[in-house]
Structures are given as C-alpha cells and as structure tokens.
Structure 1
C-alpha cells in the first residue's frame, strides 16, 4: 500500500478542517490533497513517475508537504535534502540518488545549477517562500493559462504554481516493500549514505510513534513543526503522524525559541516534538520572557541524548512533562519511547510494540540487564553491563542504497530476525527500559579505561554557569587519549576553565575528568541538534 493512502483517508474524513497552518493561513485537507494530486500530475507531465527520485530541497514550508505527498502519490521516491547544503553536498546527494527533479527556493537554485550537468536533474521547481498554499491557489487562478502551459511544456525551471497540473493524478499502486523515501545519513563522520525506507517502514512507524501520546494524535491536536522535514524525525513523527490521524500541522521554517514559544501560546498548540538543544533554548529564554505553554499535552525529545538538567529545567519552567524517545534514520525512526506516567529519566524508554531490542557484546552475546536503571556512578562497572544496542522490526530500513559492504556490516541474522546495529552503546534493566551511554565511535579510551562522553556532559550541564557542552577524546602520548571539554558558558558567567575542570575532578573518577577545558561561543551542530564532534576533534583542537 502506498503510505499516502493514510492521508487520503484523513482528507476524505476531515474535508474543510485545517491540515496545515502556516503564518496564520490555513490549508484544508481537501485543498492540500488536491494540490498533492496536481503536483503528482505535474511530475507525470515531465516524464517523472514510478521509482523516479524527486529531491525536496526546502525548509519547513507547506510546499514541502505538498511535494512530498505528491511525489509519493505519483509513485516516485522522495530524496529530502537539508536546505543548508551547498554545492559540495548536493553534488553527492543528487549524483548518488539519480534525482530527476529538485524542488527548492529561488535562492538555492544556484547550488543546483552548479552541479546540474553532473547529475540527472532536468527539472527544477522553485517555491516562493512568502506564499502559503491558500494564497497560492487564488493567485494561480489569475495567471493566464498560456503562461502556465509555457512553463510546463519545457524542461526549463518552473515556479511551483505553474508546475501544478490542472488535473489531479490518482494514487499510484505501490507494494509494501517498494521504496518511498531515500534520506541520507548526516555524514558527520564520512560520506552520507542513502537510506532505503519502504512504504511499510514509514507508515508503520508513523502509526506506532503515536502510541506514547495519551489517546494518540486526535483530530483536535495542533502539532508544532519545528523539526526539519528533511530529517526523518520531523518527517515521520510530526508531519506524517499528524496528517495520518487528521490533526493540524504548524510548520516553522527556522528555529527560534521565542517564535516557537509564541506560536505555542497564541495558537494553543498541543503537541511538541523537538531535540534537546531546542528544549535547552526554551528553558534558557530570558527571565522576563513569560510564555504560557499549558495547552501542551505531550512533549517529546529525540534526535540525541536528553541531558537530565535540560529536562529538569524545561519542566520546572513550563510545567510540561518531557518524555525522551529514541530512533535512527535507518529505523524510520522511532524504536523506543518513554510514556506519560511510565517514564524513567535518563532512559530512552521501552521498545515500541512490535520492535525487538537487545544489548550485545562484540560476539553478539546478550549482556545481562541490571535490576533497575539508571545505574549510579561508581555502583557498577559500565564495561560489564554495556554493549551495542541492536534492533529488529517492521520499521528497519531495507538497506543502504548501492552499498553492499555497508549493508553487510549493518545487519546480523540471528534467531530468525534481521538485527540492525545502531552503533550506540548502552544497557537495559529488568523492567525493559533501555539506556544509551554514548555512540560507539565516541567512546574514549584513556590509559586503558573506557570513558563515555555523555556521562561527563550530563555533569557539565548541571553546572549553573554552563549553557552547553560537549566532550571528545584527543590524542595523548601517555594515555592514548585524554578527555577534552568544550563549554559554552551562560552570558556574563563568572567562571574560569580551571574551575570547570576542578568541578568535574571533584565529582568523577580521576581518569574521567577533562584535563583540558575550552570555552567557546557555540558548538557546531547539525540542523537536528546533534553536535558535530568531528569538528571539535579536528578544527577546534588544531
């Protein structure tokens, strides 16, 4: 089944109800679904159809949602791309995917044009960022038919409204295992790989990801759309899950804590999914910035580990319970979640129903669970209880695009299941809660001891003068590696780097404390909030 059948059902039931609300302008389910059909027909007019790749190179705009579902309606494959990417990244993503069309902003066309001859792109569709879907509809009616036809007939670039056909196109038949979306891994440690996600992967996870929300997503829910739609977290958990269940999606194209809090308050938004860095920004809004977020009935954090101090600060300021979840691009993404009334701070939660999860050592032997987590510092040897988190389930990707060696390394067949190696190190407890200690590749080995950066980062966040922090391992002739901390102090903080080092030394085993501390203005992060530690290890360390 084509996963957009879920949206078709919602459109038939909801009709005039708002599917999208952008900049105060509502787009009904009926209008949105019609425009998605017109986009699908526009693709067909340009010879783009089943299995063809369409790159959506946009921020969170209503046209992203239309192009996404219009491409799937046509039977194509969506290749979502970060609008911050420039020609170097585009050269790889467009060339590797074989995308035939790109939907983007006028200001980004230059980057596409710079690499276009090296790719299969023959159509570029541009979106006016100031137009909402409802505004565009009325403007397109006044445009002469001859003008629209002339833009559609050639292979030349088209404006979004001219690209839309006069008629809609029915939903193309697709098998469950056919590819729907091909996002690319973030590429923080190497060349990004295309992830092959099927219609069943995405539809199943969009449905399952709503289980931690009390009563699921309701038709009267209004969902804050701050997570970028090019990323699987925003795509599945905010956009698709909301539209499948008939709620209203409120996209924001750029992250601004004040703007987000204002929108939640003014529009009475009920659901928030965001990354820890966003919750940290909200918690650290100026004291005189008073916002009422009482309309929020569920808030979830994902994308990276949620520091306990960030959770406490956000909950203390806004009185909204914050639940942590876990997932990866390769798992569509959600595999674990905490539930309201059944959460364990510091844990990524329990596996969603239908998903199997294990903690295994290098020989793929299960590590025994602890009695109850989280474990306290010094109470247990982490090396005795931790291993790699592996998962299996209907949301796990089909594989990496044209990467047989990567696929061989990513999966292990055992016990009748196909286990995906997440690359995350963690442990589990007897109640079924899982805990991620750190990324396998981020673990620091100093003088024969394993050090997990997240443990130190959690401590740093508790310091009253610290706004943000990240820890990496750097080469050391005597210890192999040593610990280095990069700290963003709060404005006008009266603290020194030596004080931070001593603070850690007093609270951690000696081999864990950062022997080097550097104050920085900000940490290099991806758009989804993950710290790009390779930048810290190379550029900042010289």
Structure 2
C-alpha cells in the first residue's frame, strides 16, 4: 500500500504512547492522534466523500490541521492546503479549480468561504474553534470510527497545493503519495542519524506551505518524533518553546533567523538542545547566518526547493558538507544539472562560490533543472503549463525550476537569480501581476507596476509605482489599506511611490529593471 498515511500508522504501531503533537502546553500521543484521524476519515465517509475528493484546509498551524490532513489521506482523499491569510478573492479560484467538497477553517474565516461558496463545489464548511453561520463545528462533524486506510497507488495525488506562475494565476500542483513520501524520507536524513523518536521538531513554518508540511510535519511524524506547531511566528515565543521543551530540530525562513538575532535579549537565548537548524524559502544573507552562529551552538544549513518538487532538491547538511553561499548538494534520489537555452549541460566551476563581481556569470550560469521521485505529477488541468515545465532528454524527465544558477566540481549548487519578476519576501513568493491587477481596479490608478526592492529583514519587500488618474485624490496609505483588504498581508505593497509615468519598451512592456536600478541608486545615495 502506497498511501502516504501508512507511514504515520507505522509510527503509531511502534510509538503509540509517546507524544506526537505538543501544542500550547498540551500533548497528544500517537494513539490519541490516530483515533482523531479515524474520526475525521469516518466523518468524510459517512457524508459520501472519499477517493480523490478534495478537502481544503484553510488553517494556520493548529492540531486540527494535522488531524484533517491525515484523516483525509486515510479516507483516500486529496488535501488542498490554503493560506489562512487569503481573503475571498484569493480562495475563490482555489476552491473552484480544485472542486473541493469540504473546507476546514477558523470561525473568523468562515465568511470568506461562504461569500464564494455558491460559485464552488463546497458542500460542507467546518469551523474548528466554535460556531459560525454557515458552518458545522469540528466536534459535530467528527464521527466515531476506526476505518481502514484506503489503498492508494504511488502515483495517485495526495496533496494539491497552489502556486502562482509568472502570470500570477494560481496553479494546482499535483503531488503524489510517492512524491511526498520520498521527500519526507530525504528530509529526515539531513539530520545526523536521521530524525529519531526522541527528536522534537519546531513547527513554525506554515503547514499550508510545502516546506512546513514535508520537512517539519511529515518528517517528524513518519519517524515517531514529536511535532510542536505554532499558529504564528513570534521570535520570543518560538525561542521560549525551544528552551522550555528542549526542541532538537529548527527549520525556518531567513526572516525568522534575522528576527531572532535582533531581539533585545538575543544574547540570552539558549539553543543548546538544537542539533540541526535548517533554512529555506529564499537565500539567507551571509551576515545573518554569521551573527546567528556567533551567538549560538548549532550551525545553520541552507537548502532549496519548490512546491513542485515536494519541496527539497538541494540542501547543505552535516553529513554531505556545507558551503556558505550555496544551496547545497542534491538530496538522496534527486538529480540536478545546469543547462543553457538549448538544454545543453553547463560545465561546473572548480569551486564556488565565485566572486560575482569578478566573474562573467553568463559563462557559468544557466537554468537549474531537476529530476527525481519528488517531482510533481503535473499541474492540475493545465496541459500547456505542463509542456513548458518539463523536458525529456536521454530518457529522463527534467523539471524546469525557472531559477538561474551554477554548480561546482564538488557538487554544490548556487542560485544567482530567482524567476524573472517574482518577489521573495520573508520566504513567501509574491507575483507582481496579481498586485498590479488589483491596483488597476482602483478608480484612482491609471497605471501601476510592482517590483521587489531590498529589505534588511525580509530579503525583499513589495513596492508599487503608481501613476494616478488626472483628478485623483488618493494617498499611499489609502492604496495600502485597499490592498490589505483584498490580499494576504505579505503581498501588499509596503511602499507606494506616485510617478508621472512608467519606463516602457517600444512595445509597451514596463522595464522593471529600471525601477529596481532607480531604487538601488537612491539607496546608495542615502547611505
């Protein structure tokens, strides 16, 4: 049986009485957790929901996410994770495209679901934290039962997260049981001796994001370790949890590490229980890494991956070595190479990282492509996107990451540029077109362009350049509030600059590189 949840069942069999989940001072054993997933799976079955049906989890990192996630898999369903920061505008496409029949969410988020429910296939809305109009409470939804695990094939879809393409249109990523099982296994092996039953994993990376789902939650639960979710990031709370529970594995995005070292009492923090710190989502600034390691015992190991690759493809590790500035070597079972525009291999440099100011990057870089059991089955219902995403060469199917980089003779890879226009802010991906289209809907906006600008904490932040209509009477604060009302908080432009016109090519395309160059020049002049 290839069902992903059989890995949890095996952990239950061996470690039933030990802690599976620790949340806000309460612990849930593996036996208790397994019974809860059975109640959720039974609830789905009694409502006629089963194999291949989509269940949307519109939740932060709370125990019901884990219960519904594994209960859905136990019933043979497909999990559709959704960012709880999203509003109706953003979830409407995800629910409509996935044809999800059930949404599990917070009572405060129920109105966002019911506002678009008639346009979707949603039959049941479940509130995990109390009553809400149009929803059933979690307790009332659950049904007693201990059902068998529904058999699934390795290439059956288990989870369907959504990722935005360069057009900004969210695409359903079909991740199979084999994809996720292989990557959770690879993630566990990054830690010396693997993830062990006595390990305690911090769960602050969002579970709607594949990094948190695979590398923290699944890697822990598949190996009998304890998983400690946090509903939201707070540096003081996270460190207190590490110290109090003596957590042993800490994965985060660069902004989290930056927050830790910038706390007023940072020198007092104790990370002595942690045996591995991992970082991904975007490149960690070398200075942030250095300051963290100067203060605390564990080293920080950087990795790389995408939603489409379940996610990790490369990682520095205590086992295979670390090279600061690189994304590491490929993880077990994954192949990767750098190719040019003709899909010819680009030769490695002798040793990286190179001095990018002294090196002709065009001679050593190309697109990073990957192949392996972790690579998605394909985008849901998008044959043209799938054709663009994959290349067959010499009997191997390669996935195009869209990221430019190089590699060295020791097997380390280096990313020098993200996708052309994508903004990576605090580990989240923001595609400018989505923000631009919203701005264009505002009556006071005649033209707009959105770009990423340097930010010490987040790596990049979102900035909008707006050409107002001739008679417009609007402020930057009003436009920011407008965006916050309609988009997740991390997507809204933290900076808005009014301009007379946008730089464009003769064919009318906005020259965003000129906007970024202007920002860099202005920053240099102020320093």
Query: Under a length normalisation based on structure 2, what TM-score does the superposition of the two structures give?
Result: 0.82
Find 2:328's aligned residue among 335, 349, 356.
Answer: 349
1:375-416 CA deviation, whole Å, 9 max, x = no partner?
013332011111000000000000000001100100000011
Equivalents in 2 of 1:387, 1:276: separation in Å? 25
Secondary structure of 2:217's match? Answer: helix
1:340-379 CA deviation, whole Å, 9 max, x = no partner?
1610000000001211101011110111110000001333
Secondary structure of 2:116's match? Answer: helix
Equivalents in 1 of 2:259, 2:192: separation in Å? 26
Equivalents in 1 of 2:20, 2:183: separation in Å? 20
1:206-251 CA deviation, whole Å, 9 max, x = no partner?
0011222101101000000000001100000100110000000000
Equivalents in 1 of 2:266, 2:91: separation in Å? 42
Equivalents in 1 of 2:461, 2:15: separation in Å? 48
Task: Count residues in correspondence.
Answer: 454
Aligned to 1:279: 257
Find 1:190's aligned residue among 168, 183, 200.
Answer: 168
Alignment of 1:205-216 (within 5 A): 205-216=183-194
Please state if 1:394 is matched with 2:394: no
Change (3 A) 1:187 1:227: farther
Alignment of 1:138-537 (within 5 A): 157-186=135-164, 189-287=167-265, 290-340=268-318, 342-442=321-421, 466-467=456-457, 469-470=459-460, 476=503, 482=513, 514-517=520-523
Q: CA deviation at 1:324?
A: 0.3
Change (3 A) 1:55 1:432: same
Q: CA deviation at 1:442?
A: 3.9
Q: Which moved more, 1:156-165 or 1:374-383?
A: 156-165
Tell me which stretches of 4 or more aligned residues in structure 1 moved more than 4 Å.
186-189, 466-469, 471-485
Q: CA deviation at 1:440?
A: 3.4
Q: CA deviation at 1:329?
A: 0.3
Aligned to 2:487: none
Change (3 A) 1:345 1:119: same
Equivalents in 2 of 1:24, 1:470: separation in Å? 35
Secondary structure of 2:416's match? Answer: strand
Change (3 A) 1:382 1:125: same
Note the residue ranges of structure 2 that are not aligned, 5 or more in a row: 424-452, 466-501
Aligned to 1:127: 128
Aligned to 1:536: none
Q: Which moved more, 1:110-119 or 1:302-311?
A: 302-311
Change (3 A) 1:112 1:357: same
Equivalents in 2 of 1:477, 1:31: separation in Å? 60
1:56-109 CA deviation, whole Å, 9 max, x = no partner?
111000010000000000000000000011100111000000000000011110
Equivalents in 2 of 1:204, 1:512: separation in Å? 45
Equivalents in 2 of 1:470, 1:294: separation in Å? 31
Aligned to 1:4: 5
Change (3 A) 1:239 1:481: closer
Change (3 A) 1:380 1:512: farther
Secondary structure of 2:162's match? Answer: coil
Note the residue ranges of structure 1 that are not aligned, 5 or more in a row: 131-150, 445-458, 486-510, 521-542
Equivalents in 2 of 1:287, 1:336: separation in Å? 33
Secondary structure of 1:83's match? Answer: coil
Equivalents in 2 of 1:63, 1:412: separation in Å? 39
Aligned residues of 2:255 and 2:459 also touching (Cα < 8 A): no
Aligned residues of 2:72 and 2:78 also touching (Cα < 8 A): yes
Secondary structure of 1:185's match? Answer: strand
Equivalents in 1 of 2:371, 2:405: separation in Å? 16
Q: CA deviation at 1:285?
A: 1.0
Aligned residues of 1:105 and 1:126 also touching (Cα < 8 A): yes
Alignment of 1:70-109 (within 5 A): 70-109=71-110
Aligned residues of 2:38 and 2:144 also touching (Cα < 8 A): no
Change (3 A) 1:186 1:238: farther
Aligned residues of 1:103 and 1:126 also touching (Cα < 8 A): yes
Q: CA deviation at 1:9?
A: 0.4
1:438-465 CA deviation, whole Å, 9 max, x = no partner?
1131499xxxxxxxxxxxxxx978xxxx
Please state if 1:45 is matched with 2:35: no
Change (3 A) 1:432 1:78: same
Q: Which moved more, 1:353-362 or 1:375-384?
A: 375-384
Aligned residues of 1:484 and 1:515 also touching (Cα < 8 A): no
Equivalents in 2 of 1:355, 1:190: separation in Å? 28
Q: Which moved more, 1:187-196 or 1:332-341?
A: 187-196
Aligned to 1:502: none
Equivalents in 2 of 1:515, 1:222: separation in Å? 46
RMSD: 2.7
1:260-318 CA deviation, whole Å, 9 max, x = no partner?
01110111000011111111111111146621111000000011111111111211122
Equivalents in 1 of 2:422, 2:272: separation in Å? 39
Equivalents in 2 of 1:29, 1:469: separation in Å? 38
Secondary structure of 1:437's match? Answer: strand
